[in-house]
Structure 1
């Protein structure tokens, strides 16, 4: 009998989706679909992995959450937290109170990752600017040392890996800011959740980042931006929230970056990676997400994952 063919490197990439792809940005908002509907539909669309989304959207009782996901054939890949560590040691206690709650629930689901998103320099509901878009040297130092401390505590207490998510309208957004953050942090503690849509929104090249900092890529979020809408957003200086409402994030393969080269570059890393679909579209009609999710899953199968 001939030997079995070696598995494709892409087979080490596990695809999932997230509440974000159902228009969920907040733990409780009447504009969002109920969590039961999200779970039903994400399973129906063909995904086996999900993220927790904003803490409190899905049940926070570990037993109930395991029951609800398990009976739908779903597993959890990660939890998500927002932090403002650039503000220095004074925010540590409040930060840890939130992070420890999310990390505890994440560990209880069997997940191994905690996605850390830097706080917005705009208000996440009104889009009003509340901080400078640029950090001082001292604030960069607080951000780096605070993130390393957070990653160490999360690893030692909960066994989770911290992956930091560069995000539009935060201080870790552009190529220059992402590289500065990576160069300032310990690779043994801090890696990236590369969001292809946010990085493109901020002018970055995902394939280049993977090829240059491959050892720091610990997790992927898959999304695309509509180049025409993005050009208008950049020209007008539109904040991220209103840009989403204008449709700046679009379903693949209608936007950029092309996901096939991104996935091919990620497959060359020879690492086990999650690739979680996150199509920002808050708010959205409740019947819109499921057809998009089905088409996106079908498209990604065509990309070999």
Structure 2
């Protein structure tokens, strides 16, 4: 089946709505189109224009389309955070839907600061927090489906409460498949010690979206040994250009196609911050590499 290949602002060094070290949004759109990607994610809300008509025009001029928006949530904190969470999610969902996107990527909140490494809370959820995460995720998935026609895909991520094989499979076993799907990020899952190919083979029916990413195993070993936060790891180059890292992408692409459904496969190589001329050559090479493996 078809893999709809695209890229995202983080592959151009974009992590924040506004940061002078980041690639300007117009340059990102120009270069992602030049590199040959027809699909993009919105990235952090406010980086791209938030007026749907303006953004739609900018995308159309470059023959680009939106696959998804992205939000961070802290649903494990329970009903007290629901109203603020929904307000944030709602504005991202509205822009995603207005520009033709079909998915919302939901990332659990960090348990430690990604830059300083300061511990913000425990790295493990207690029973009530886990129950909050499950009920909140199901409620959010249902609301996004009913109000916006979007499919919610939860993104396991480094330094969050859903990251390694144990927490990911526990999360999937506990949630309703009709309202909660998974965004499998091959790089983050490897970063946390997971096997993406095995996850596709065992939980393939729950995977609704892919992020294609690799990690440098030597740098990852240093990061793990030193217990470094994710932001420091990225600055050290833990996320590397394919095919220089792990996991191997061709078997994962083949397994994803074997699921028999259409999937977005969005390239994400975190490089914050990075020199402005660095992303485009990498994006071109990565696109050619994926094409050589029928993606």
Question: Does the 8 Å CA contact 2:116/2:229 hold for their aligned counterparts?
Answer: no
Q: Take 1:30 and 1:18, find their aligned partners in 2: how far apart are those partners?
A: 18
Q: Take 1:207 and 1:52, find their aligned partners in 2: how far apart are those partners?
A: 27
> How many residues were matched structurally?
295
Q: Take 1:303 and 1:282, find their aligned partners in 2: how far apart are those partners?
A: 27
1:18 alignment partner, one of 8, 31, 39: 8
RMSD: 0.6
1:187 maps to: 177
Question: Does the 8 Å CA contact 2:113/2:229 hold for their aligned counterparts?
Answer: no
- Pairing of 1:122-201 with structure 2 (within 5 A): 122-201=112-191
Q: Take 2:52 and 2:118, find their aligned partners in 1: how far apart are those partners?
A: 36
Corresponding residue SS for 1:79? strand
For each residue in 1:87-109, what CA deviation from the matched residue of structure 2 results, as whole angstroms up to 9, or x when unmatched?
00000000000000000000001
Q: Take 1:86 and 1:136, find their aligned partners in 2: how far apart are those partners?
A: 9
Q: Take 1:36 and 1:50, find their aligned partners in 2: how far apart are those partners?
A: 13
Q: Take 1:156 and 1:127, find their aligned partners in 2: how far apart are those partners?
A: 38
Within the alignment, does 1:285 sit opposite 2:275 as a pair? yes
Please identify, of 117-126 and 52-61, the stretch whose mean Cα deviation from structure 2 is larger.
117-126
For each residue in 1:178-217, what CA deviation from the matched residue of structure 2 results, as whole angstroms up to 9, or x when unmatched?
0010011000110000000000000000000000000000
Tell me by how many angstroms 1:128 deviates. 1.4
1:253 alignment partner, one of 243, 258, 263: 243
Given the two structures, how large is their TM-score scaled by the length of structure 1? 0.96
For each residue in 1:116-169, what CA deviation from the matched residue of structure 2 results, as whole angstroms up to 9, or x when unmatched?
000001124433111110000110000000000000011000000000000000
- Pairing of 1:1-305 with structure 2 (within 5 A): 9=1, 12-305=2-295
Q: Take 1:13 and 1:127, find their aligned partners in 2: how far apart are those partners?
A: 36
Corresponding residue SS for 1:121? coil
1:4 maps to: none
Which runs of no fewer than 5 residues in structure 2 stay unpaired?
Answer: none
Which runs of no fewer than 5 residues in structure 1 stay unpaired?
Answer: 1-8
Q: Take 1:37 and 1:128, find their aligned partners in 2: how far apart are those partners?
A: 34
Question: Does the 8 Å CA contact 2:115/2:230 hold for their aligned counterparts?
Answer: no
Given the two structures, how large is their TM-score scaled by the length of structure 2? 0.99
Could you list the structure 1 runs, at least 4 aligned residues long, displaced by more than 6 angstroms after superposition: none
